[in-house]
């Protein structure tokens, strides 16, 4: 069975109590997801109190995937103390996530430091990714690296940089393939064709190819049947994580229809 997880991103402006309420109400609903993707940031962070609430729901059968903090990204900052602080925040997040036994934990590559050229910091970012991967393995966490939004000032947001990463490091870390991010570059098909053996998670949301809109699946111009069929050809087993902030349950329904037609 293909697991469909739904990101709590669509609830971002709501208090944590509203999130818990939605998780409970949708737990056995037909339109509910198979798992929930928790974002470890701001009021939704994996604090002691929030972990207790999420753990209690896990005892009722709810499964989780976890996304790293969205607002921490200076992992290769020129100031070593800033860099260390950000990496430690990410590691603490991962350690907290282990308590929920999530199916997956996804983290972002680093931001491109101001006034520095991409080629000057590629190797440092690759070292950061490998450090996080090694730490995740040491605590028993299934961690994956996400491709960031194309054309933004973040590392590893294009095919060429992922190619270089795998070639230079020979890393076995799997990719969380964000289809919406790749669509900003018009490279959704090229990404899945090139890395389908490296993809362990798929982030599903749609857009018009110009902005990262997080639309419902089918409301943009992404060819979802092509993406899913290409993953099926290599017996993809990872979760599909819906990140639509508009009509998220519509996205869950449409994605399940695509999966039933394909798998």
Q: What is the pLDDT of residues 82-119, one digit of tens each?
A: 999 999 999 999 999 999 999 999 999 999 999 999 99
**What CATH code is carried by the domain that includes residue 154?**
3.20.20.150
Cβ pair 65, 102 in contact under 8 A = yes
Would you say how long the chain is, in residues?
263
Which residues touch 149 (CB under 8 Å, ≥6 apart)?
157, 181, 184, 212
Share of the chain above pLDDT 90, in %: 95
Residue 263 has a pLDDT of 84
Residue reference for tokens 């992922």:
162
Residue 126 has a pLDDT of 98
* CA–CA gap between residue 29 and residue 22 (Å, rounded): 11
Q: Which residues constitute the domain of residue 225? A: 4-262
Query: Does 1 have pLDDT greater than 90?
Result: no
Domain count for the chain, please give it: 1
DSSP H helices in the chain = 16-25, 48-58, 80-98, 118-138, 159-169, 179-183, 188-195, 224-232, 248-262
Please give the angle made by the CA atoms of 94, 53 and 100, to the nearest 5 degrees. 35
Which residues touch 211 (CB under 8 Å, ≥6 apart)?
184
pTM: 0.97
């Amino acid at each position: 069975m293909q697991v469909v997880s739904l990101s709590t991103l669509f609830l971002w402006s709501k208090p944590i109590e509203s999130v818990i309420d939605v998780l409970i109400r949708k737990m056995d609903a037909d339109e509910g997801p198979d798992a929930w993707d928790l974002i470890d940031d701001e009021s939704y962070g994996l604090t002691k109190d929030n972990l207790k609430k999420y753990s209690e729901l896990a005892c009722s059968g709810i499964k989780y995937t976890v996304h790293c903090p969205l607002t921490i990204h200076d992992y290769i900052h020129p100031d070593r103390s800033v860099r260390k602080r950000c990496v430690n925040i990410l590691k603490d997040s991962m350690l907290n996530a282990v308590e929920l036994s999530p199916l997956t934990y996804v983290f972002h590559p680093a931001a491109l430091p101001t006034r520095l050229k991409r080629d000057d910091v590629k190797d440092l970012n690759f070292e950061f990714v490998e450090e996080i991967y090694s730490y995740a393995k040491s605590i028993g966490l299934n961690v994956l690296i996400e491709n960031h939004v194309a054309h933004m000032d973040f590392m590893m947001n294009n095919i060429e940089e992922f190619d270089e990463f795998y070639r230079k490091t020979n890393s076995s870390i799997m990719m969380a393939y964000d289809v919406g991010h790749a669509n900003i570059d018009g490279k959704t098909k090229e990404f899945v064709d090139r890395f389908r053996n490296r993809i362990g998670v798929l982030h599903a949301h749609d857009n018009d190819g110009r902005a990262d809109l997080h639309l419902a699946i089918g409301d943009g111009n992404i060819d979802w049947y092509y993406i899913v069929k290409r993953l099926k050809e290599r017996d993809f087993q990872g979760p599909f994580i819906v990140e639509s902030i508009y009509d998220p349950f519509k996205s869950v329904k449409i994605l399940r229809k695509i999966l039933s037609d394909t798998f």
